Amino acid sequence: MPEVAHAADRRDAAWWVDRAVRILVLAGGLSAIVFIAGIFVFITREGAGFVFDRFDFREFFGSPRWTPTSSHNPTYGALALIAGTASVTGLAMVVSVPFSLGAAIYIGEFATGRVRETLKVLVELLAAIPSVVWGFIGLSIMNPLIIQVFNVPVGLNVLNAGVILGLMAAPIMTTIAEDALKAVPDTYREAAEAMGATRWQVTFKVVLPAARNGLVAATLLGVGRGFGETMAVLMASGHSINLPTSPFDSVRALTATIAAELGETAAGSDHYGALFTLGIFLFLVTFAINFAADVFVRGGQRKHRRRGRRPAASANP
Amino acid sequence: MFEATAQNRRNRKVEGLFRLLFLWMTCMLILPVALILGVLIVRGGPAISWEFLFTQPMNNMTAGGILPALVGTVWLVVVALIASVPVGVAAALYLSEYAPDNRLTRAINLAIINLAGVPSIVHALFGLGAFVIFFRFGTSVLAASLTLAVMTLPVVIVATRESLQTVPLAFREACWNMGATRWQTIRKIVLPNSISGILTGVILEVSRTSGETAPIMFTGAAFFLPFLPQGVLDQTMAMSLHLFVISTQVPDVPEHMPFGVALVLISMVLAMNGISIAFRVYLRGRKKW
């Protein structure tokens, strides 16, 4: 080392390595942004031809006629597909929001010790079942069950896909909702209990209102999950284009349409571009849902940090 | 003064009722799945044998085994891991050890949430547009694995970040006070104390990757290929897509076969998750601080 080097100058090998690593990990962090931007760029790149040449806003959102393979007059109305996705997701939410929130309340506020840990593990395992297996369950177990119980000719319908999707979305909603309940500071509960409130009074009057933002976020993420689910909906919904009027109608979802038709289209054709346009639409809607959920989660956290600050001594057990 | 009043008794009764209601709701989420697993085991169990696992499919996939699908899934998972674990760990290191609380960090976090939230079929479109067409990998193991890698990146990042954050700040401070650089601290103190947590994240990613279907449909997985992939530029069969194909696309498949495939797939996935959870519980018990 040259003698003139300043005593505090520590630019040795370790310093340079540290510098290099700092840049490397920053690149890793930035990659998430690069990928999400890349997804948008590449699906737009493939869909752009259709969007600019053929896309008709009123047809796309107003017409239920999706006949891209028609030889003389192909139409690209996505209304029936949107209705299919909406009906299945809607039913899934009706089924699973109450149960997920109930489960979150039980796990977070009532269960203790070993029971609580076991239930959390079970919920986590539910989330691990692959969507194609759920689809297969809809096809081979739910289908005959629905035909038998409701005496209908076809068991692949909104009801089937909705229940399957509800079971699929429940774990993520339960987990996020339980996190939201856990984020409510214990001082809130202690204050209410000191006033003589019972546990369910504490839960209903204090914890649930305080965790409202997080619960909304949990529901939103569940909606996002249902909206984007592909294989299960493809296999369990019946996959026929329909504006559903009852839970026993077969429908077709946006995601399922892409999965079923993309393999048969020629790259660059209108049909191909139309499927990518459905993809752009899906991307934008899920982006909006996730963004909204994030805003709610953040809002909830900030509120508790401001109002429910615990004494420093007990914050770090 | 401390006798139970009528009000107290009523409160306790209501509390008991609510407790039961919520317990019932929790069970309603778990029991159907337990039943379904039971059905899968009863109806798929008889299909499973060494022959089923380790022979080629025959007669247009209506007989024989699932060897190429099993091997293909292993290929896809391994290549996806090689691509995503280094990037995911780097991103988690940045977020946990370096990132200041600024706009960029919030943008990265939002991007991660969205990567996890974008529908799998949109990831498939991205893989097709980017890896298959733009980068000219063709429909191949490489393109499919990279698509899976992008999709499951958030799993590694979130698990790794959580694991890094369980290392107490005091450990780092002690190391910095000795004159160590940030990287030396990470290398000698933070990583050794969190490596097992990172491993559980990787196992979770394996589980997630092996079950995904939509992202590989158009990027590298084939309906039927009677041979094994020889390199990353070959197409391959995969367990998840094979289940879809033989349960919806192929006529006259004997009923026990798709049940067998579903059982094998779900066993793989649940075993991975089980290992990851057991590992986590064991670590929590062993933790010294």
Radius of gyration of chain B from its Cα atoms, rounded to whole angstroms: 24
Determine whether the interchain pair B183/A17 forms a contact, defined as Cβ–Cβ distance below 8 Å: yes
Q: Residue A103 is nearest to which of B29, B133, B210, comparing CB atoms?
A: B29
Mean pLDDT of chain A: 86
Q: Between residues 34 and 73 of chain B, which touch chain A (CB distance below 8 Å)? A: 36, 39-40
Q: Which two tokens stand for residue B107?
A: 């943008």
pLDDT for residue B289? 63
Q: Is residue B1 part of a domain?
A: no
B129 touches chain A (CB under 8 A): yes
Give the residue-averaged pLDDT of A196-204. 85
Residue A307 has pLDDT above 90, yes or no: no
Q: What is the ipTM of this complex?
A: 0.89
Domain total for chain B? 2
Q: Residue A38 is nearest to which of B25, B130, B277, comparing CB atoms?
A: B130
B20 touches chain A (CB under 8 A): no
pLDDT in tens, chain B (289 residues): 567 788 878 888 888 888 899 999 999 888 888 888 899 999 988 888 888 888 888 877 778 888 889 999 999 999 999 999 999 999 999 999 998 888 899 999 999 999 998 999 999 999 999 999 999 898 999 999 999 999 999 999 999 998 898 888 999 999 889 888 889 999 888 998 888 888 888 988 899 899 999 999 999 888 888 788 888 888 889 999 999 998 888 888 888 889 999 999 999 999 988 888 888 888 777 766 6
Q: How far is A70 from chain B (nearest CA, A)?
A: 23
Q: Between residues 147 and 166 of chain B, which touch chain A (CB distance below 8 Å)? A: 150, 153-154, 157
Residue A239 has pLDDT above 50, yes or no: yes
Q: Are residues B85 and B201 located together in one domain of the fold?
A: yes
CATH code at B240? 1.10.3720.10
Per the CB < 8 A criterion, the answer to whether B213 and B240 are in contact is: yes
Residue A16 has pLDDT above 80, yes or no: yes
Q: Residue A29 is nearest to which of B33, B94, B154, comparing CB atoms?
A: B94
Residues of chain B contacting A267 with CB distance shorter than 8 Å: 133
Residues of chain A contacting B21 with CB distance shorter than 8 Å: 102
Q: Are residues B211 and B258 located together in one domain of the fold?
A: yes
**Domain span at B214:** 50-286
pLDDT for residue A316? 32
B223 touches chain A (CB under 8 A): no
Of the candidate CATH numbers 3.40.50.720, 3.30.465.10, 3.30.360.10, 1.10.3720.10, the domain formed by A87-265+285-306 belongs to: 1.10.3720.10
With CA atoms as reference, report the closest residue to B289 among A74, A182, A317, A84: A317
Question: Which amino acid appears at position B233 of this protein?
Answer: L
In a mutational test of the A interface, the residue from B2, B14, B94, B256 whose CB has the highest number of chain A CBs within 10 Å is B94
pLDDT for residue A303? 65
Widest pairwise Cα distance in chain B: 83
pLDDT for residue A4? 54
Q: Report the residue of chain B nearest A286, measured CA to CA.
A: B118
pLDDT for residue A7? 56
Q: Which helix (H) or strand (E) holds B58?
A: strand B57-58
Determine whether the interchain pair A110/B97 forms a contact, defined as Cβ–Cβ distance below 8 Å: no
Q: Are residues B110 and B251 located together in one domain of the fold?
A: yes
pLDDT for residue A314? 33
Distance in angstroms between the alpha carbons of the first and the last residue of chain A: 47
pLDDT for residue B125? 94
A1: confidence class by pLDDT, cuts 50, 70, 90: very low
Determine whether the interchain pair B122/A130 forms a contact, defined as Cβ–Cβ distance below 8 Å: no
Q: Are residues B193 and B228 located together in one domain of the fold?
A: yes
Per the CB < 8 A criterion, the answer to whether B280 and B104 are in contact is: no
Q: Which helix (H) or strand (E) holds A66?
A: strand A66-67
pLDDT for residue A27? 93
In a mutational test of the B interface, the residue from A23, A25, A156, A254 whose CB has the highest number of chain B CBs within 10 Å is A25
Q: Are residues B32 and B124 located together in one domain of the fold?
A: no
